[in-house]
Structures are given as C-alpha cells and as structure tokens.
Amino acid sequence: MIVIFQKLIATLIGSLLLGVGVNGFLVPHHLIDGGIVGIALLLHYFLKFPTGIIMVGLSIPICICFLAI
C-alpha cells in the first residue's frame, strides 16, 4: 500500500513539473518538444487547442495499451 502511494505522489509531482515546464517555458517561447508533448504543442500553435487537454487525450490510448499487456 505504501509503494502505491509513493508511486502516485511521484506521478503527481512529475506531472505538475511537466505542466509547469510546458506552459511556463515551451509555449511562451513557441518551442517544440518531441513525442506526445510535441504533437500537443503543434495542435496548440496551429489550432489553438489547450496543450494539457491534448496531452491527456493522446496519453489515454497509450496507457490503455500498456495496461492490456
């Protein structure tokens, strides 16, 4: 039970830091990253979609695939 709680806290802290980095540095300077974040940034720059929602939406299918393995 403690290990699950530690993993949950680590995931939440990592997600918070990723969100601060993307919205605090990449978006204001119009920079691009790779992977899911890069796709979300491209959609944000060209279609004005919110980056966070796109990142979550693109990550859900990947999480489902890993859970199925």
pLDDT of residue 8: 87
pLDDT of residue 1: 83
Q: pLDDT per residue over 57-68, tens digit each?
A: 999 998 888 888
Please state, in angstroms and rounded to a whole number, the distance separating the CA atoms of residues 26 and 22: 5
Structure tokens at 12: 């939440």
pLDDT above 80: residue 69: no
Please state, in angstroms and rounded to a whole number, the distance separating the CA atoms of residues 22 and 38: 10
pTM value is 0.82
Q: pLDDT per residue over 5-54, tens digit each?
A: 898 899 899 999 999 999 999 999 999 999 999 999 999 999 999 999 99
Place of tokens 């890993």: 66
